[in-house]
Chain A
Amino acid sequence: MAVAASTDKVVIHHPERPAIWKSLAGFSQNFLVRRLFRAFLTIFFVTTLIFFLVRLLPGSPIEVYINQQMTQYGYSYDQASNQARALFAIDTNQPLVIQYFNYLGHLAQGDMGMSIQSPGTSVGSIIASRLPWTLFSVGLGLLIGFAVGVGLGMVMAYKRGTWIDSALTSIASLTHSIPNYILALLVIVIFGVRLGWIPFTDMRGSLSSGVHPGWTFRFFADALYHASLPIAVYVLTQVGGWMLLMKSSTISALEEDYVTAARARGISEFRVAVLYVGRNAILPLFTQLTIAIGFVVGGSLLIEPIFVYEGIGAELFKAIQGRDYTLLQGIFLMITTCVVLANLAADLLYSRLDPRIRTGGS
């Protein structure tokens, strides 16, 4: 996770600007409206990018597919393009603009086409069966990593200059610099194969055989058991970043006058730490959350295949390796949508935590 200090306020100074820009600027003053706009644009960008890749790139998958059908199976162009339409949900006989809007229309109805490699299976159904596992493991990994990082970061700040601080800082720097997939490989090679501490082959898959989804303890415990290695890696690779960020943020919050004032009022040290130091120190971390979410979700693309966890990342890995374009486009779009929604949730929480953003103040 690249940690870069930056503000992302859209500042517009321009004395003379047309009305539309003025109203857009006024519109963009509201934090949540701005973020909704960004979310919409992001999904739009991804769908358009997919259309471009599939349809317009020279040697695009759809052309390759049609040519393949014609040369290998002797179909006519019409037949082949009909086949392609069924797969890609794009009709190559229509004008490009119509194709584009039809494609958007199909997407809006949840029609992402059929998988090339698993004939007769819709992309939607594959995603539906795999996505929940990834949401579960990645979501839990993000939450635990953030919570632990924030907690330890505060400890480091409160104990700054002591051995606890230097030990935690070293650990944070180390885990922060090791790529997540390398960490996953190390877990298997060292703790799984060499030391035999982790029964990683037994932990493969998303559930043990015989366990069925339902509101049972057995199901949740088993799901957690199978997800624990990916989760551990997600936590370890992001926690260092949060620790270092929270440490510096807490140190500056500790110097604020309102913290001194709260202590002078006899507020208990615990409440000062939570309500005065912690709550203010955590705010700057939200600007990094977008990157962290993307980082962990992206990580699933390699972590899941390494641990053989049957989530959407492992499915995307297979789709990329097998050039199953329809499937990989669908997964790409779906993952992006989830990330966008996660970002919106984070933004909503942020605006709850910081009244200055909520009311559009300074």
Chain B
Amino acid sequence: MAEMSVGLEPQVGQSAVIAVDERKRASWLRAFVARNKVGTFFFILLLAIIILAIFGPWMMPGDNPTNVALILSPPVSGHPLGTDYMGKDVLYQIFHGGRSLLLVAFLAALLSTVIAVVFGTLAAIVGGRTDVVITVITDVVLTVPQIILLGVLAAYVTLNSPILLAVIIAATSWTTLLRAIRSQVLSLKEREYVEAARMLDLGMGRIMFSEVIPNMMTYIIINFVIAMTGGIFSQIFLYFLGLVPLSGDNWGLMIQQAYSKGALFYKDSMVYILSPIVMIVLLQLSLVMVSRSLEDIFNPRLRES
């Protein structure tokens, strides 16, 4: 994955060129849609889920009262997806339960990407001892099963804020990306412009942020999307373990409750249980497919094989 199309991103200060680039990009987009129908479909699906997650609470305002008369109901009028173990409406929870999930996944992905990019680049550029230390630490953390490390760490802290949740997920999920970024930079390092920048003695920070990272942007974006899927996976895992304080609506919490309150084994609750599952599967699937399509766009060499 050494090849990257840098030209697709117009640089600041090249306003004359941007107009041309924009036009090129539009026709290129059309070509992509025509050729990659599956990718386009999942792009749209992902957008739809994101919109539902962000605007859902405004689309379905009000509160969601418990109703002891209608516990674990199959879909009935007024409750198109049935009710949960307290008689609460499932559809309402679907509309309200995506926002924090996506927000935390986004934050966690952002944090772990930043850790991976900064330290991966540092290891590759500085080399020597710094590289050895960072590589060994990464290898060690990578060997410990990530999800178990996350579970154990989470048992020692009270995960009462989205930020804390994102931090602890990011703290356990930066390893693979760091390794990938490091080897990317090692190959970028061989290229002339980095060589030139080093000759000019531009300083490490300058080289990193003005030469190396911009050239890895597409790669980083693709991996950011993959990190989002990891963030969702980890959150639902933590909800399932019961390590996230149980309040508010959340797809992960819905699954945990369906499991812990036994709704899982109740035939009438099929739709109730499947609702958050389907949402999560579609979200994960569209993220994975979108990352594939992005790879397809930015790295056409892989397309042929």
Contact = CB atoms under 8 A, between A and B. Distances in A.
Interface in B144-159: 144-149, 151-156
Contacts of A24: 132
Contacts of A5: 1, 180
B257 to A, nearest CB: 12
18 contacts: A10-B132, A12-B127, A13-B127, A39-B143, A41-B136, A42-B140, A177-B284, A293-B145, A294-B142, A294-B146, A295-B145, A298-B146, A298-B148, A306-B259, A316-B148, A316-B151, A332-B149, A339-B145
A189 B268 CA distance: 11
Tell me what chain A mostly uses at the interface: helix, strand, loop, or mixed: helix
A188 interface: yes
B264 interface: yes
Given A45-B141, A178-B281, 9 more contacts: A6-B182, A10-B131, A38-B143, A46-B144, A178-B284, A189-B270, A301-B241, A320-B155, A339-B143
Interface stretch (A116-124, A228-236, A321-329): A321-329
Contacts of A335: 145, 148
Q: Interface size for chain A: under 10, 10 to 19, 20 to 34, or 35 or more residues?
A: 35 or more
Contacts of A248: 305
Contacts of A99: none
Interface string B43-56: 00000000000000
Interface string B155-196: 110000000000000000000110110110010000000000
A115 B223 CA distance: 41
Contact of B177 (A4, A189, A294): A4
Q: Residue among B140, B177, B226, B284 with the most chain A CB within 10 A? A: B140
B283 to A, nearest CB: 10
Interface in A32-53: 38-39, 41-42, 45-46, 53
Contacts of B179: 4, 6, 8
A10 B155 CA distance: 34
Given A179-B280, A185-B264, A2 B305 contact: no
Contacts of A291: 142, 176
Interface of A: 2, 4-8, 10-14, 17, 21, 24, 38-39, 41-42, 45-46, 53, 57, 60-61, 173-174, 176-179, 181-182, 185-186, 188-189, 192-194, 248, 251-252, 290-291, 293-295, 297-299, 301-302, 306, 316-317, 320-321, 323, 325, 328-329, 332, 335-336, 339-340, 343
Contacts of B145: 293-295, 297-298, 335-336, 339
Interface of B: 1, 127-129, 131-132, 135-136, 139-149, 151-156, 176-177, 179-180, 182-183, 186, 223, 226, 229-230, 233, 236-237, 240-243, 255, 259, 264-267, 270, 273-274, 277, 280-281, 284-285, 287-289, 292, 305
Nearest to B283: A177
Contacts of A339: 143-145
Contacts of A306: 259
B139 A38 contact: yes
B148 A332 contact: yes
A12 B124 CA distance: 10
B147 to A, nearest CB: 3
Contacts of B140: 38, 41-42, 45
A181 B237 contact: yes
B237 A302 contact: yes
Nearest to B182: A6
A156 B284 CA distance: 24
Which 4 A/B pairs are nearest by Cβ-Cβ distance?
A298-B147, A294-B145, A298-B145, A14-B128
A253 B150 CA distance: 38
A340 B226 CA distance: 26
A117 B296 CA distance: 52
A188 B147 CA distance: 22
B156 A53 contact: yes
Contacts of A189: 264, 270, 273-274, 277
A57 B273 CA distance: 38
A188 B265 contact: yes
A116 B282 CA distance: 41
Contact of A6 (B180, B237, B277, B289): B180
Given A10-B132, A194-B267, A42 B148 contact: no
Contacts of A46: 144
Contact of B236 (A45, A179, A294, A323): A179
B243 A193 contact: no
B156 A185 contact: no
Contacts of A178: 281, 284-285
A320 B143 contact: no
Contacts of B264: 185, 188-189, 193
A123 B238 CA distance: 24
